């Protein structure tokens, strides 16, 4: 996605709608799994803190989560900026349901 911004404008106009339509890769749950694997320590910590926040919010939720494709930021410099985190509903990752809070915190 980051290299698409360097395409000529006519090609960007073709590519951006396709990336937007297939934006499920940037769902907050997917990004929360990707952030702790980043090369930058700050982004890894940010990802783990978002996972903890999602767990905290998820305990209070009684509704079924809906999978919606997020609006993408094509000017993002790293994967933590691909979406607007303040504008999305976080839900805890089913993959980590058996992990304790202490276990997640130990990776920060």
Distance CA(83)–CA(19), nearest Å, equals 13
pLDDT value of residue 45 = 93
Q: State pLDDT tens for residues 2-22.
A: 788 889 999 999 999 999 998
- Residue 97: CA count within 13 A, CB half-sphere: 5
**Please, what is the average pLDDT of the chain?**
88
Contacts (Cβ under 8 Å, ≥6 apart) of 43: 35, 78, 79, 80
Give the mean pLDDT of 51-74.
85
Q: Degrees (nearest 5) of the Cα angle 39, 42, 45? A: 95
């Amino acid at each position: 996605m980051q290299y698409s911004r360097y395409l000529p404008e006519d090609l960007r106009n073709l590519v951006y709608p396709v990336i937007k339509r297939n934006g499920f890769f940037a769902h907050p749950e997917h990004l929360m799994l990707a952030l702790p694997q980043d090369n930058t320590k700050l982004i890894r910590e940010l990802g783990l803190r978002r996972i903890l926040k999602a767990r905290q919010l998820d305990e209070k939720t009684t509704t079924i989560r809906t999978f919606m494709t997020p609006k993408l930021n094509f000017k993002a410099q790293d994967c933590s900026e691909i979406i607007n985190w303040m504008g999305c509903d976080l839900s805890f990752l089913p993959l980590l349901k058996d992990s304790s809070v202490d276990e997640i915190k130990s990776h920060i």
